[in-house]
Amino acid sequence: MEYQLKEQEQFKYIEEGSGPPLILLHGLFGALSNFRDVIEEFRSTHTVIIPMLPLYSMPVLTTGVKSLSNFLHQFIQFKEFSQVNLLGNSLGGHVALVYSKEHPEMVNSLTLTASSGLYENAFGSSFPRREDKSFIKQKVGVTFYDPKHATDELVDECFEIVNDRNRVLRILALAKSAIRHNMAKDLPHMKMKTCLIWGKNDTITPPEVAEEFHQLLSNSSLYWIDECGHAPMMEHPETFNRLLRQWMEANGI
């Protein structure tokens, strides 16, 4: 199903369904399509919204998770929401964490899947070999337990991104910002209901990261998905949606 991309003021976003707001936050190489199955599952009970984060349009010097959190706050104010439920994957989870720390009264619930914020094994020192498409395909494949999910379309999207110098500069700025904004000291003070859904085979934010999140977030529940990498909502959408639905219903969300 194709979704209408709304453009209002400085915001571009998808909005489907009705009910309590559920805001989905994509990662560094994430696309709006990453959450297609989540939209379809929850649009009957929630207003599901995916704002396009300005990853590549902020000034390089201010590109970082704090700036993205500020952007999210502006968007929530623009939508006039009094409270929201946040769901973030990878970098999107980190943005959700920073926002929740700064605006706890605005966050009804928090769902993190393969979130950065404590540790992330990203492209590393080898990033980016821009001209080498096979290298990009291999790196995209690492995102998943089953490399079949590293489709040609996905590889082409990433290849285009890393061959754009302006985007590469912002990717590196975001990666450095994510390392600087380690949340370990903040998490024990965050009391909102939190759902952690993690792939047991995630090599980017490994299982021990999920365990640490669970230990530091006092009001959290942790769920595992077998044979699953860094994007559970893409690789095992039915299991992801079932776990999230059960948790939300159990917590009145």
C-alpha gyration radius of the chain: 17
Question: Would residue 155 count as lying in a domain?
Answer: yes
Q: Check pLDDT > 50 for residue 5.
A: yes
32 vs 63, higher pLDDT: 63
Q: What is the CATH number of the domain that holds 103?
A: 3.40.50.1820
Considering the entire predicted model, what is its pTM? Answer: 0.90
According to the model, what pLDDT value does residue 119 have? 78
Number of domains in the chain: 1
Q: What is the side-by-side strand order in the sheet with 220-225?
A: 6-8, 11-16, 47-51, 21-25, 84-89, 107-113, 193-199, 220-225
* pLDDT, tens digit, 9 for 90 and up, residues 100-153: 999 999 999 999 999 999 976 654 444 545 556 777 777 777 788 888 887 878
Question: Would residue 27 count as lying in a domain?
Answer: yes
Rounded to whole angstroms, the Cα distance separating 6 from 224 reads 34
Question: Would residue 1 count as lying in a domain?
Answer: no
Question: Would residue 41 count as lying in a domain?
Answer: yes
125 lies in which domain range? Answer: 6-250
- Residue 111: helix, strand or coil by DSSP? strand
CA distances from 242 to 35, 46, 87, 188 (A): 14, 15, 15, 28
Q: Check pLDDT > 80 for residue 219.
A: yes
